[in-house]
Amino acid sequence: MQVSKLQPTRALAIACLPLAAAVVSASAAAQSSVTLYGVVDNAFAYASNQRGSSNVYMSQGSLQASKFGLLGAEDLGGGTKAVFRLESGFNSLNGAAASSAGMFNRQAYAGLSNDRYGTLTLGRQYTPYFNLVGALGPTSALTGATGAHPGDVDALDTTLRFNNSVSYVSPNVAGLTLAAQAGLGGEAGSIASGSNLSAALRYDFKPVSIAAGYVHLKDVATSSAIGSFANNSPINNGYATSGGVQMIAAAARYTLKDLMVGLNYSNVQYAPGAHSLFSDEAVFNSYGAIASYRFTPAFAAAAGYSYTRASKSNGVNDPARYQQISLEQTYALSARTTFYALQAYQHASGQSLIANGAGRVRISDAVAVVGDSQNTTPSSGPSQFIAMIGMRHAF
């Protein structure tokens, strides 16, 4: 009987099968992935009043911030993963970085995630207040450019981040998610100096979602733990030297097929510190309502109304009040490319405390600041109208 010359090779291959299976199994147990993602968003814009003049200009990041990022995960086995995110914002009109704070100015963190025990991350991160409450607030249905509460005074848009932070998010248990975060000030001899705290919870039950959150900022003007915070508009720049800021917010939504309706509320308190340019606590209360409807798989529209009122303090006897109406229409050409139109109108009344640019503050008539896209280009008077037509492409 003739023996095939291939038999030794075949025998070796058969002998190696268990080892190959073990290698494949080990490889599968330690799978890793890195995803590159991003958004490019540009638009034509019209403003009825920017510091006294109307303006037609190019705008970027209006529907969604222009950005790119890397999101990674490595399976460590037993339901545990190592995770990281690096995310950078940029100006898609000229290619410049969105911030001088660093290359990854939006987010930069790493940590561990477990299906049973939750996720622990360290680095530069958004707060639980934003992640859980902001997700149900006005800016996820209406873009923050024109839908955020005036000047984003309550940080429900993407304007608040913590540096040097430790964050924990629980797994979803029967619809309930809890999250907490601490931003460390990093001052020798005082772990509390310059530190910031945030906590939030969210409950989802069939068509209803409810969330509430809290933020406490210390040493606002000097803390290294505050990665970014919007206090540069005439709404609240008079309190930029605050010794501490407390924010409490709640939001709820009801979704029935293609219809969504929601309510939101926030309370923001600015407390004076040893080096503040104001002496009395200032409070801003904002009330909002939002709704959206998907008419077709490609076309959707949303609307929102908000009312923000400041308290009587620091010599202001007629506190500022802001009423804002925001509209949004989107048409999806594909899963990644969307045409959009935005319109918003805001009317301001009363008086506010504003910074005069010379290290002082003064009482002045309140001026309109639509959303958080006009923080540095507010109206010179009580009214401001903004309209935008643009395209967003995600990758």
| Token reading at 228 | 């970014």
- The DSSP bridge partners found for residue 113 are 81, 119
- Inform me whether the pLDDT recorded for 136 exceeds 50: yes
Output the pLDDT for position 30: 59
Q: Mean per-residue pLDDT for 223-233?
A: 90
- Inform me whether the pLDDT recorded for 207 exceeds 60: yes
Phi-psi region of 189 (alpha: psi -120 to 50; beta: other; left: phi over 0): left
Helix, strand, or coil (residue 185): coil
Output the pLDDT for position 194: 73
User: pLDDT averaged over the chain?
Assistant: 91
Structure confidence by residue, pLDDT tens digits, 143-169? 999 999 999 999 999 889 999 999 999
The DSSP-derived string for 98-129 is S-TT-TT-SEEEEEEEETTTEEEEEEEEE-HI
Q: Mean per-residue pLDDT for 262-284?
A: 95
Query: Are 65 and 58 a contacting pair, CB within 8 Å?
Result: no
Question: Could you tell me the residue ranges of all domains in the chain?
Answer: 37-394
Maximum pairwise Cα distance, the chain: 110
Query: Which DSSP category does 173 fall into?
Result: B
| Burial of residue 352 (number of CB atoms within 10 Å: 0-12, 13-18, 19+) | buried
- Inform me whether the pLDDT recorded for 3 exceeds 50: no
Distance CA 68, CA 91 (A): 11
Half-sphere exposure of 359 (CA within 13 A, CB side): 1
- Inform me whether the pLDDT recorded for 14 exceeds 90: no
Cα end-to-end distance, the chain, whole Å: 64
| Token reading at 129 | 């207040």
Query: Are 77 and 25 a contacting pair, CB within 8 Å?
Result: no
- Inform me whether the pLDDT recorded for 17 exceeds 50: no
Domain 37-394 class in CATH: mainly beta
Alpha helices (runs of H) in the chain, residue ranges in sequence order:
7-29, 128, 138-141, 144-147
Output the pLDDT for position 117: 97
Structure confidence by residue, pLDDT tens digits, 363-387? 999 999 999 999 999 999 999 999 9
Structure confidence by residue, pLDDT tens digits, 63-94? 999 999 999 999 999 999 999 999 999 999 99
Distance CA 179, CA 378 (A): 35
Structure confidence by residue, pLDDT tens digits, 292-316? 999 999 999 999 999 999 999 999 9
The DSSP-derived string for 257-291 is TTEEEEEEEEEEEEE--TT-S--S-EEEEEEEEEE
- Inform me whether the pLDDT recorded for 122 exceeds 90: yes
- The DSSP bridge partners found for residue 162 are 125, 226
Query: Are 206 and 133 a contacting pair, CB within 8 Å?
Result: no
Output the pLDDT for position 77: 94
Query: Which DSSP category does 188 fall into?
Result: T
Q: Mean per-residue pLDDT for 13-35?
A: 52
Report the alpha-carbon angle 289-284-156, nearest 5. 55
Output the pLDDT for position 102: 79
185 vs 55, more confident = 55
Distance CA 63, CA 41 (A): 7
The total number of residues shown for the chain amounts to: 395
